[in-house]
Structure 1
Amino acid sequence: MLRAALAESRAEAAGLALRLRSAERQAAAGRALASARLAASDEDDRALGAALGDLSAFAAELEDANAALAQEVAERRAELVAIDAALRESEERVRLAHRHAGAGSWDWNIAEGTMSWSEEYRELLGLERDAEASFPAWMEGIHAEDRAAVERAVRGCQEQAAPDWEVEYRTRHPRRGVLWLSGRGRLQRDAAGAPLRLVGLCIDITARKRAELALRDANENLRREVEREVAAREAAQARLTETLKLEALGRLTGGVAHDFNNLLAVVTAGASLLARAEDPARRARLTASIAAAAERGADLTRRLLTFARRQALRPEAVALGPWLREIGALLSRSLRADLAVEIDAPDDLWPVHADPSEMELAVTNLALNARDAMERAGVLRIAARNVTLDGTEEPEGLRGDFLRLEVSDTGTGMSPEAVARAFEPFFTTKSGGGGGLGLAQVYGFTRQSGGAARVGSRLGHGTCVTLLLPRASSEAAEAARASLSARAGASEAAENTALRVLVVEDDEAVAALVLDMMQHLGHAAVRATGAADALGKLAGGLEADLVFTDVLMPGEMDGLDLARAIERERPGLRVLLTSGYGGAPSRVAAAGLPLLRKPYDLQGLRQALALAVRH
């Protein structure tokens, strides 16, 4: 603006000077004309005198005008001097600001293909005063790794409607090395919208970039240090966990050995006495003792597998309200007379998705623990509520709809140390010993069901065990009730039907007992030693109504592989699986096949066969 004003003032001054010279020429012409007329005729003296008077007046006016014009020219010149000084001062301030800010300006005339660099820009890049200022020279000074990005930014600015242009790039200074510059500019277009000029500024941001890189390196070093520290802590935690596992394994092994030795002592001694006893009553007592020991052993194994979360669960939709009322009635009859059983189950309880037999075992274990904790009269309370968890209320981070089942008592309670170890297998606070697997089974059942379990207790204030079990849909509960009723009617009819059974069992002793049990139940049974033998017998024309096979067998095919092969080759032939190992049933549950858990008795085998035929 200052330069434009200065140019305008200079133009006005030139015009005034031109008018002054024109007036002087007109005055000279007038004087010459007057002299000529005076010499031409004496007759015109009077007219000449009048003309001379007019000319004198005009000359006076002209002198006044010249004086005014000279004054105006002087004022204009003073104004121009002031404007020129202000312009030089402004330019100096801009140069000073650029120099101190580490900035330099440039002007690229796109239409003409020329470029100009300010003195500060040349100093910023360490360029000589006579260095060529051009777009190729500018691009050549940019770091090779950043050149493509700058070119894309320039093209994008020319092709897009936005006039502003901004990019960061590196350049190499002859003395200072690599510098980081921030280029910013504005694009001007002509009336047709074509790019005309790109005027911009480059700012030295090397210090900021170096600080950013240093901060990034520091953060990266800190991250590596944290990772090393975390890895070291995790390794230490792993060593501690391994030590605790070995300690727990030692306690577990000792507890299992102790309990099984007691059971085997009953079986061994009972079998020895049974061989020598002739009295029928005594033989019946010994047989009952052996059977009870075997049942306790099976229950012990079942609890261990549940705690390890290896036991196969058969979850289904269970209407919790009616189920709790039935359990409450059962506990009221079986617990001591001085203990009151309270059931708090609202009518709007959701159905729960769980294995009903394992859930019954868990609640029974908790009730027995509560009974033992209440030496005199007390109250056993079982309460259920609907809860919706958002992942923040429980340590396990559970989300969704759950049933909160609380079993509380008014007994002696537990110390904090006992609460911390409550779910450990074979840990017990009972003065008479005890198996120590009750709460372990509860913990394994809830975790395997997709829920959680925890204990709250204080000495002298009783204990409360909370179970969180997932919700089942109402439709699934209704379907489960209908299926249960249908299976009950079908099983009653199927138990009286003689079957042709192919028994697949690799263990000789187990196979002999199973064949005897089948014969006792009235079924015709044929044994196969493995999957290949079974398929061979079926291919050879053996007629069978059902295949009863162990899950785990030596060879390339196990019981599940055999079941799949039978489904392909003999569709419609029923398969009943059996297993005593905890790792196999999870695969069985996924396959949807019926499973009979080992060990089993005649009644269990009868029911399993009947259900398998109707499966």
Structure 2
Amino acid sequence: MDGGGDEAESERTAAELEQLRVALEDVRNQAADLLADRNRLADEVAHARRRLREVEGQLMQREAAAEQARSLLRQPAVPPAEAAAHAENLQVALEELQVIAEELEQANTALAQANALLEQRVKERTAELAAANARLRDSEERLRLAQSYAGAGTWDWDILNDRVEWSEEYFDLYGLDPSTVRPSYAAWVASIHSADRAVAEAALQACLRRTTPEFKVEYRILHPHRGLRWLSGRGRLVCDRAGRPVRLIGLNLDITDRKLAELTLEDANRGLRREVEQEVRAREAAQAQLFQTLKLEALGQLTGGVAHDFNNLLSVITSGIALLRTAEDPARREKLAEAMAQAARRGADLTRRLLTFARRQTLHPGPLELRGWLTEMRELLARTLRGDITIEIEMQPDLWPVLVDAGELELALLNLAVNARDAMPRGGRLRLRAQNASLSRAGSPDLVDGDYVRLCIADNGIGMTPDVLSRAFEPFFTTKEAGHGTGLGLAQVYGFVRQSGGAARVQSEPGRGTTVSLLLPRAPAEAVQAASRETPPQLPDTRPLDLLLVEDDEAVAALTADMLRHLGHRVRRVSSAAAALRALAAGPPPDLVMTDVVMPGGQDGLDLARRLASERPGLPVVLCSGFSGAPARVEALGLPLLRKPFGLDELRSALAQASS
């Protein structure tokens, strides 16, 4: 606070000094004008007096001529002709005398008026000059007092003649001796601290180049008695009619106290920022601990739901294996195998839902035209839903393309459709509506400003009560009977949409139905154009390959090797990354390496892939993983990932992609 007050006081003082300096300059100019006016009036008086003397001379000549004429009239009688001539001359002289007398009277009147006016004007100008001189002395005294009080020094630089003038206060401000230091540009530069000279000179030269009227700069000096001081320079540039700088005048102020206050305040702010950062880190740590606690609590809920569902799936697989061993009928064996395969797919689907809700599933978003996609989905929904449910689709004519993972959006829509089917046990209507929407953060805090497509899935079923609606997106929360739902449907939808950069909304009333709105981000135009130019990759048929299989699980390794041999490939198998490196060094080079991502021994499949990319850059690598944290790490390497569990078709496609 003190620093701010000192700064304001310094600014006010500088402003007052500038006003006084300008006023002093105005008074000096006014005094010079008055003196010139007085000299002009004196010239006018002298001219009037010379004119008066000329008129008086002419009058004396006319009077002499008239006296000569009168003397002739008093002489004895003359001849008539001569007398007539004298009379005529006398008449002319009298007329001229009368005219001269009138002119003399007018001249005397005009001279008297001029003298009176001139005396009045001289008196006024003399009084004004005296007042101006008094103001000049007063301004000079005030300026000296202000400079002395504020510790300010004035300077005046005649740029054309390269003459510099400094006031007494200027010498005192810099600690210079007037008897030894001559004011000059070089002396000013030499008095500035070496670290600030370049900045000060640059500011001055910039002012001269731009010919701006104001000059401002702050720099340090080393006073011989007061030590390091901060000065503020303020000046005004004067230019001629052609715009060339001819004069720069201004003053300097000592701003050391303000600068010290600013530095102190800056140190305090840095300390405050450090304290705030420490507080933020402590708060983030506390939030992380709280989040971990909440994750543990959610994990408890997830464990029960996942264990229940996976036990059901494992029961199907276990029972199917037991029956498969005893069944001899091929149709019976095929039916059991299909049931076990379906249970495995359900388990994989459950895992994918969990990963999507946890936002750890890798999405592959791309431009998607919803008009054609929704038309195709109508057929899929018609086969999935009952015949007593009518499907209606409404779409805006100029519907924007969206940027989403089409497969995950299909899964989300199927989940919502199944929920709507269960909410309409006696049949009803499922309406799909898509329209463009430009949204802002002000109206939707969980979205960024931009364009979206609102995809609404509405049913006219039994609806939700307020307490159920508040938990609609909660994982493993379901109102269905045990064994008829996992509670991950809406949770998976919510996780997918949020991970895609959008948002999900749900509205419902008991007895009036439910509407779930998916806000999907609009696809950029360049992404749509790029997608339109792409052609689906044509994977060639894979030739028989020599493969090195790296898998630590014996059962998984045995089944994977059998699948590879079934596809016509030759397989060598090792159980660790270190063993793979030894096999590569000792044996013939394989055509392709297929490795699990998560393995014991200090090196995992990603470490092995990076090592092979460095030592054997031309060797194809296929990664396999069922671990949820693998996709993000795999994307950093840019390698294809085969997610477990996989079938023959997925395996064949991955091998063809890697070896192409």
1:342–1:564 distance in 2 versus 1, CA, 3 Å: farther
Of 124, 131, 135, the residue aligned with 2:183 is 135
Which residue in 2 is equivalent to 1:331? Answer: 381
The SS at the match of 1:366 is: helix
Q: Does 1:463 align with 2:515?
A: yes
Deviation at 1:365, TM superposition (A): 1.0
Q: Counterparts of 1:178 and 1:249 in 2: how far apart (Å)? A: 66
Partner SS, residue 415 of structure 2: helix
Distance in structure 2 (CA, Å) of the matches to 1:566 and 1:154 = 60
Over the aligned positions, Cα root-mean-square deviation in angstroms equals 5.8
Distance 1:280 1:376, change over 3 A: same
Q: Is 1:435 matched with 2:486?
A: yes
Query: 1:435 Cα shift?
Result: 0.8
Query: For residues 577 and 178 of structure 1, what CA distance do their matches in structure 2 show?
Result: 69
Q: Distance in 1 between matches of 2:654 and 2:523?
A: 31
Specify the alignment match of 2:413 in structure 1: 363
How many angstroms apart in 1 are the aligned matches of 2:200 and 2:528? 65
Q: In structure 1, how many angstroms separate the alpha carbons of the residues matched to 2:180 and 2:156?
A: 13
Unaligned runs of 5+ in 1: 21-63
Shift of 1:468: 0.9
Matches within 5 A, 1:300-379: 300-315=350-365, 318-345=368-395, 349=399, 352-379=402-429
Amino acid of the structure 1 residue aligned with 2:377: I
Q: Is the 8 A contact 1:446 1:469 kept in 2?
A: no
Distance change in 2, residues 1:366/1:82 (3 Å): same
8 Å Cα contact 1:157-1:187 kept in structure 2: no
Report the Cα distance in structure 2 between the residues aligned to 1:183 and 1:224, rounded to whole angstroms.
Answer: 36
Which position in structure 2 is the counterpart of 1:558? 605
Aligned residues: 554
Task: Give the alignment's TM-score, normalised by structure 1.
Answer: 0.67
Secondary structure at 1:362's aligned position in 2?
helix
Q: Does 1:5 align with 2:34?
A: yes
Distance in 1, matches of 2:648 and 2:32, equals 114
1:410 equivalenced with 2:460 (yes/no) = yes
Structure 1 equivalent of residue 474 of structure 2? 424
Alignment of 1:449-488 (within 5 A): 450-460=500-510, 461=512, 462-471=514-523, 473-474=527-528, 483=536
AA paired with 1:444?
Answer: G
CA contact 1:388–1:402 (8 Å) conserved in 2: yes
Tell me, yes or no, if the aligned pair for 1:315 and 1:355 is still in contact at 8 Å.
Answer: yes
Aligned residue in 2 for 1:88: 133
Answer yes or no: is 1:578 the counterpart of 2:624. Answer: yes
Report the more deviating stretch, 294-303 or 6-15.
6-15
SS in 2 for 1:483: coil
Deviation at 1:187, TM superposition (A): 5.1
Q: Give the equivalent residue in structure 2 for 1:596.
A: 642
Q: Distance in 1 between matches of 2:283 and 2:587?
A: 64
Task: Select which of 303, 308, 326 maps to 1:253.
Answer: 303
The one-letter amino acid of 1:558's match is G
Superposed, which structure 2 residues align to 1:168-187 within 5 Å? 183-186=234-237
Aligned equivalents of 2:635, 2:562: Cα separation in 1: 28
Preserved CA contact (<8 Å) 2:501 2:520: yes
Query: What letter is aligned with 1:581?
Result: F
Percent identity among equivalent residues?
A: 44
Q: CA 1:611–1:12 in structure 2 vs 1: closer, same or farther (change >3 Å)?
A: closer
TM-score (norm 2): 0.63
Equivalent residue for 2:56?
none
Post-superposition CA distance 1:317-365 (Å, at most 9, x none): 5543333223222222322233222223456555555444333222111
In 2, the alpha carbon distance for the partners of 1:161 and 1:79 equals: 40
Counterpart residue type for residue 507 of structure 1: D
Give the AA of the match of 2:133.
R
Structure 2, unmatched stretches of 5+, are 1-29, 50-107
Query: Residues 170 and 252 of structure 2 are in contact (CA less than 8 Å); yes or no, is this contact kept in structure 1?
Result: no
Q: Deviations over 1:77-134 (max 9, x none)?
A: 856752453133322452476457967784647559573638xx68997999x99996
Of 362-371 and 382-391, deviating more is: 382-391
Q: 1:217 to 1:270 in 2, by over 3 A?
A: same
Paired with 1:275 and 1:183, the residues of 2 have a C-alpha distance of 100
Q: Report deviation, 1:12.
A: 8.4
Q: What secondary structure, in the 3-state scheme, does the structure 2 residue paired with 1:365 have?
A: helix
**Equivalence for 2:558:** 512
Q: Secondary structure at the match of 2:509?
A: coil
